[in-house]
Amino acid sequence: MNPVSLITRKRDGATLAASEIADLIAAYTRGDVPDYQMAAFLMAAFLNGLDTEEATALTKAMLHSGEVLDLSDLAGIKVDKHSTGGVGDKVSLILAPLVAACGVPVPMISGRGLGHTGGTLDKLEAIPGFNVNLSIGDYRRQLERIGVVMMGQTAEIAPADRKLYALRDVTGTVESIPLIAASIMSKKLAEGIDALVLDVKSGRGAFMKEEADARKLAETLVGIGQSVGKPTIGLLTDMSAPLGRAVGNWPETAEAIQILRNETPAGGAVDDVLEVTLALAGEMICLGGVASSPEAGIQTAKHALESGLAFEKWVELVETQGGDIAVLDDPEARVGAQPIAEILAPASGYVAEIDPLELGLASVRLGAGRTKKDDEVDPIAGFVLNKSVGSPVEAGEPLVTVFASDPSRLDTEAVQRAFTITREPPPAPPSRLIGRFDGVKWSA
């Protein structure tokens, strides 16, 4: 296998054989192909695309680069969820304990921040002591004992994806449907799930900016899942504004904690977060056999939230994985989690738009994300939005509360640019839920 030949052919628009892709991924996983050559291949694939057969071959090569887990000896239908990433998307932190509290086992293997979006692992590690680096044995035992586990990829699970994920983040090759699909499905199919629910995001804060591209990605992902016998549902959700009020690792984790405690988060109501979370929970609870329909699953999930069962499961999860449960009772008491600045409104009127991409990039510059493969994130860095789309605002009123370990990294002007303020109130924001794909057809 000559990597230069494969890179050149893909650069020139050729279609590669499944065996060639398998050999390339195996060699990269072994370390025989360096990052700079794989970066060149990724860019060639990004620019010229991968057809269905190439994308399937890439998924299988990444899936079988490591161990494919078998959890069939554990009770229950194991269901996971994956989001394609968005600004302020802390849904997994709420969803995993919520669904587990309803009786559906949730084995969740997540990733780091990618591009301008945050990662579930970075948010979990913002909880002091929380250990996402579990062994496969610990993963199985915890799932059997408490019904939920949230961890990162191990050396055994899709090691090719772990390497490629980090490389794509810093080489401008994130927004590619086949690369995204192969990354997601290789990891999810390796973790031993029985069913999967996908949150595919569309809009300026998503990797898929156009709804047509997001629909195509959802169809690709659902198709891969169902082709290997895993019931898979895709929800298309809107990411034209940040989800919720918090952006950044600890700010988002604190918001998730407050939602699980059935409290209003610091910045104000977060109905959009609850809307997306409950829709995904309903699908997972239905696929898990606990509810007869997604609608019934939503009612089950609401009860678990309102009764405190979801928060109890969250505390159990955090404690089991070594996290400091004291911060669950008082998120504002976390060491270092005190605001360092407020960004003020430049004019009076109404918040007509909040640009999630601008805020996401500003949060990365603040330290919440990575610009190089080996960067360490600042777990504190991020924003709490004091205003949402449609909110009235007065000039000089605080728009955003800032958290960071290094105040010099704050780009105040970029954060202000994210807000469009108009004299007239904008229309009410639409639902975050755009559509649902079951493998056959789309529905509202």
> Which positions are catalytic?
82, 161, 168, 183, 187
Q: What's the rounded Cα separation, in Å, for the pair 394 and 331?
A: 29
> 3-state secondary structure string, 259-293?
HHCCCCCCCCCCHHHHHHHHHHHHHHHHHCCCCCC
User: 301 and 284 in contact (C-beta within 8 Å)?
Assistant: no
User: 161 and 183 in contact (C-beta within 8 Å)?
Assistant: yes
DSSP per-residue letters across 300-323:
HHHHHHHHTHHHHHHHHHHHHTT-
Q: What's the rounded Cα separation, in Å, for the pair 121 and 109?
A: 9
| Helices and strands of the chain, counted as H and E runs | 17, 14
Q: Which H helix or E strand runs over 236?
A: strand 232-238
- Across-strand partners of 79? 195
Distances (CA, A) of 331 to 130, 204, 268, 337: 15, 30, 15, 8
Q: Compute the Cα dihedral for 185, 372, 85, 263 and give only its sign.
A: positive
Q: Compute the Cα dihedral for 217, 220, 221, 222 and give only its sign.
A: positive
Q: What's the rounded Cα separation, in Å, for the pair 230 and 160?
A: 22
